[in-house]
Structure 1
Amino acid sequence: MPSRYLFRRLVILLAVFSFFILCFIHTNLHPITNKNIILYEGSIFTFLAFFFVIKGRAAPLILFLVLLSYFACLWLVRGHMNLQDFRNIIIILFFYYFGNSTKDTSVLRRVFKTATIVILIVGLLEYFLTDSYLKYINIRDFYMFRGGMSHLSDYLDQNVFTSAIRPDGRHIMPFLGNLRVSSIFLEPISMGNFTVILTIWGIIQCDDNIKKGLIPLVFAFIFLIGCDSRFALVMSGIIIAVRFVPILQNKIILMLLPIAVSITLMTQAYLFNIFKRSDDFQGRLTVSGQSLLDMNFLEMIGMSANRNLGDMGIAYSIEHYGIFLCIFLWGLFISIPTPNIQSKRMKAMVAFYIMGILAVSGTSVYSLKTSSILWFMVGSLTVHASSLQSESV
């Protein structure tokens, strides 16, 4: 691989490993505050902006300014600024164009390979040497120091994330114990999300070479067991169905997918007529649907964003970005050109994955840890998918 591509790999890996790096620094070197995280992520965004300037890529910079102007108007109307909303969209924008600017898929292939190996090694250390591992990676203190999980400080007897322990036991292979492995992601939700992304990558590889595709799929299965993610289990099945059912890859179907999912959620909430925060699948769907039913006009157009929406990703996106921006961005995504059948299938699988997260797992779709590699993959494969067949492992 040309040495100039090493910097691109490094940027993606720094994004994927971001919280792991920061948690290690927090535990062993210096306390990490929210300002430090903003500085870390801002440095990555600044590098990407300079990259686009050097490469003469005007589109991401123009969209950056347009989006900044749009959010500035929203902030003016709301009476307060929320950079988190703007940051979430910039992750998608910058990493898509970063992948789009790469001449072949060798960077993506090596990023997945490196990330998978590191995730496996760290995950094994976390599971088999838990106490020793948590001495150097104090996850609970890392989040609590920045104001998160403080209400659960007495509940957790280990230095792990809130959802890393299932009091009632694991759902997948219960004999493995109550710990849900998070590896470099620090919390099992993102680990489950990466598992689905890795599954998509493996399926794409299988279209070219079954042996190459089986390797990431095997690792995805291992990660699924480790993090005990019900979402990843269900979503992986849906992803496989999308791959083998051509109608689900149709552009019109994909364009209407958010509407179909939203109607399904609202119907679920209306039929059960409850608002409960149970942690089962049905309960989450009901809560997500109820948040849409309760939305008023100002919230729908993004002029009011005061509700605590938690895991209700569709309502969160509409309320924080406005329905018109959501429609615009989804339309841009669906209209991305797909040079061959591989990229077409990939885009369809990513579309279902995104809507699955928004329906059940809230704002984790905007997490830098997983969103960076997802959108880099989309950018790389929708433009350079044909190079998959010419690349060696």
Structure 2
Amino acid sequence: MNLAAAAPAADWRGPYQARAAYGVLIGALVFNAVLCFLNTAGFPVSGGTVIGAEVAIIAVTLGFALDDRPGPWLILAGLVAYGLLLLALRGSTDVKGVRDFLIPVVFYNLGLRNPDLRDADRAVLASGVIVVVMGLFEYGLFDIYQQYFNIVRYYVARGSMSASEISELTGSLFTSGIRPDSRTILPFLGPHRVSSVFLEPVSAGNFGAVLFAWALYRRTMRGRAWLFTCAAVTIILADARFGAYVCVAIAGAMLVGHRLPRLLWFALPFTILLGLTIYGFESMQVTWQNDMSGRLLWAALLITSLPPEGVLGIMPDKLFLSDSGYAYALTQIGAAGTLVAWSLFVLMPARNPDGWRLRCAMAVYTCLLLVISDSPFSIKTAALVWFMLGAADGAPPEDTPPREA
């Protein structure tokens, strides 16, 4: 049983607290773009600046998300203690794994305390509008945009890229900001893949799928058509092939997923991980192309390259595993932590039975995305995902009147 949802969460005590809570959601969405703007304007940032910004956002969210219920505090304490134990066993000071535990707990409980799904609708739609407006600015006025947002310089400053990776092909954009081959979605738009506030197009495409999931889930949402539009525009501008595929999978999960047993959902990521492991050991290929089959091969090779201590999450060496979310999860939180975290996600009860439909959709989103990326752990998209899940789980069924704020 999940202690975070064992008892109803207390509603917000006033509109100002709710607005401030939604403010941290927007902050999690745009802080990288703000730091990129500051770095481009001559106020240098570093990796420590980014970490500090994330810690500040999580800390503020924590103040709004948790109340006097003991369950969330116990879960948070247990997960943090486990994360710190892994750090000690690695002999490392990199707290990224601990942060990966914090984000789901605090943002889920932030949504759980939301008094009305209509407020959540406004928060999600506002996020979508911000992403689209910024994306249209980047695409339509690119010469002006890059004067204020030099993305590649920002990633070099924060230590995520080296100066040797800067390419004349992509210019001030992230390395995946230009499609070197033919564009898949609306080729006449050109090779530029729009990143919007995320600064790289992969997260933009993933965020489009998240918006699509909420719009599909909220049948009575005011402005639902606009949210569908925001999702489509975000995916199209980013030329996010995977994001488009995930939308199809989300629609299927929303339609039939709630009829499937929870045991199947519990087994889903481990079945995928097992399949990738077998593929990695059996495949004789060592080179891969940047297409779907190539990404699957590369993910499988990364997983099978992990030593036993990597699978347990105690490997001291830090590897680049962003192209395989499953490999990243194993090295950051270990096999035991992954098992416990997924168990909490699948087995936790919901006050609103309809919320299970959204959880099925987000389970598909997470399991598929982990094949080729560690993006589900990024606060840029994860904050809204977990807020949505908490809001859906904590809401009354749609045929009952909403709680008063």
TM-score by length of 2: 0.89
CA RMSD in angstroms, aligned pairs only: 2.2
Contact 1:52–1:61 (8 Å) recurs in 2: no
CA apart distance, 1:234: 1.1
Is 1:33 matched up with 2:62? no
The one of 251, 273, 293 aligned to 1:262: 273
Q: Which amino acid counterpart does residue 66 of structure 1 have in structure 2?
A: G
Counterpart position of 2:387:
376
Query: 1:117 aligned to 2:129?
Result: yes
AA aligned opposite 1:353: Y
Does structure 1 retain, via aligned residues, the 8 Å contact 2:352–2:394? no
2:273 and 2:102 mapped to 1: Cα distance? 24
Q: How does 1:19-58 map to 2 (within 5 A)?
A: 19-28=32-41, 30-52=43-65, 55-58=67-70
Give the match for residue 371 of structure 2: 359
How far apart, in 2, do the equivalents of 1:389 and 1:237 lie?
30
Q: CA deviation at 1:36?
A: 1.4
CA distance in structure 1 between the partners assigned to 2:124 and 2:260 by the alignment? 24
Structure 1 residue runs of 5 or longer lacking an equivalent are none
Between the aligned partners of 1:272 and 1:310, the Cα distance in structure 2 is 21
Q: Residue 162 of structure 1 aligns to a residue in which SS?
A: coil
In structure 1, distance between residues paired with 2:79 and 2:259: 31
Opposite residue 263 of structure 1, the aligned amino acid is L
Match of 1:86 in 2: 98
Partner of 2:76: 64
Q: Which residue of 1 aligns with 2:183?
A: 170
Q: Please give the alpha-carbon distance, in whole angstroms, between the structure 2 residues aligned to 1:159 and 1:248.
A: 47
Tell me which amino acid in the other structure corresponds to 2:337: L
The equivalent of 2:331 in structure 1 is 319
**Structure 1 counterpart of 2:244, which letter?**
L
Matched with 2:298 is: 287
Structure-2 change in CA distance of 1:388 and 1:286 (3 Å): farther
Q: Mean Cα displacement is larger for which, 293-302 or 123-132?
A: 293-302
- 8 Å Cα contact 1:139/1:160 also seen in 2: yes
1:319-338 superposed matches below 5 A: 319-338=331-350
Paired residues of 2:150 and 2:172 also in contact (CA < 8 A): yes
- The answer to whether the 8 A contact 2:167-2:175 is kept is no
Among 281, 286, 295, which residue is 1:275 paired with?
286
Any idea what the Cα deviations from partners look like across 1:189-227, whole Å, max 9, x if unmatched? 110110110010011023x46x85333222211211110
Q: Distance in 2 between matches of 1:356 and 1:256?
A: 14
CA contact (8 A) 1:298 1:304 kept: yes
Q: Distance in 1 between matches of 2:281 and 2:127?
A: 42
Pair 1:8 & 2:21 matched: yes
Structure 2: how far apart are the matches of 1:278 and 1:360?
13
**Which residue number in structure 1 is paired with residue 245 of structure 2?**
234
The answer (yes or no) to whether the contact 2:87–2:95 under 8 Å persists in 1 is: no
1:214 aligns with 2:186: no
Q: How far is the alpha carbon of 1:380 from its aligned partner?
A: 0.9
Identity percentage of aligned residues:
28
**Secondary structure of 1:30 counterpart:** coil
CA deviations on 1:93-119 (whole Å, 9 max, x unpaired) are: 111111112222233211112112121
1:308 shift after superposition: 2.8
Query: 2:314, 2:74 → 1: CA distance?
Result: 24
Q: Partners in 1 of 2:388 and 2:170 — Cα distance? A: 38
Matches within 5 A, 1:334-349: 334-349=346-361
Corresponding position of 2:213: 200
2: distance between equivalents of 1:154 and 1:40?
28
**Residues 2 and 147 of structure 1: is their aligned pair in 2 closer, same or farther, counting only changes over 3 Å?**
closer
Assess if the C-alpha contact under 8 Å between 1:204 and 1:213 holds in 2: no
The alpha carbon displacement at 1:51 in A equals 3.2
Give the CA deviation at 1:78. Answer: 1.4
Residue type at the aligned position of 1:92: P
**Partner of 1:179: helix, strand, or coil?**
coil
Aligned partners of 1:305 and 1:200: how far apart in 2? Answer: 38
